[in-house]
Amino acid sequence: MSAELEELKNLTKALRRRVSMSYSSDWMAGAPKARPAADAEVTASPRPAQTGTLAELADKIHACRACPLGATRLQAVPGTGSAKAQVMFIGEGPGFKEDHEGKPFIGRSGQLLDKIMESIGLSRETVYIANIVKCHPMKNPADPESHGNDRPPTQEEMDACRGWLEAQIRAIKPKVIVTLGAVPAKALLGDLTPITKLRGQWRTYDPGGGRPPIKLLPTFHPAALLRNPTLKLDVWNDMKNLKKELSK
């Protein structure tokens, strides 16, 4: 199937989705009643990176051995979604299931992310989902079949992988980037502010090369919501702000 037909198929699927903007979405169970979001603006300037289409970048990512993760992963996880996405959701790194299946956000966190996106009319077919690192960081790389073996990526691993994400952002040219959790927010903004204070504040990401800046909205990682459902209202407020921005 040609790229054009595939894109048309994805858009058709997205249009058929029936979603609700209701506060009572099932993913909101356990959320508190109210709390407003903040607003602010800063800038960050990432380093120059590689170029190419998403397909070309995916091939290069699969061949990458720039850090030790390339030798211990089962497979790389470049990303998934539309090459014309208005929104990029960026997480930390692949986990056990992602490493085994080659797709981002497919475990419990991914299922919750799907519901969060659907609540404002988005889907995997209309956005692009990626991670700061493209390979599974493991506590014990010798045992990739072990559950609970995930760990946060090191600074060395994030630095080695950063160019791939920057190139994906330049290829897609999204209107908005949503970072999920503290790690991607810190990586793209260079801001050490705790995610509890950073989330909900509009920031600006500079893709470099004279390209227009991109609005960036930090929010909590879905895994944090699974651990603490009271954070769901914060994410709901962030998603409403995202929907408002996309409607402009």
* pLDDT tens track for 144-166: 999 999 999 999 999 999 999 99
What is the distance between the terminal CA atoms of the chain, rounded to a whole angstrom?
Answer: 33
Q: What is the pLDDT of residue 147?
A: 92
Model pTM? Answer: 0.82
Mean residue pLDDT of the chain comes to 87
| b/e sequence 25-61, b meaning 16+ C-beta within 10 Å | bebbeebeeeeebeeeeeeeebeebeeeebeebbebb
Mean pLDDT on 176-205: 97
pLDDT band of residue 50 (cuts 50, 70, 90) is: low
pLDDT band of residue 211 (cuts 50, 70, 90) is: very high
Fold observed for domain 3-18+38-246: Uracil-DNA Glycosylase, subunit E (3.40.470)
Mean pLDDT on 241-245: 98
Q: What is the pLDDT of residue 31?
A: 72
- Residue 90, strand partner residues: 130, 179
Mean pLDDT on 222-241: 98
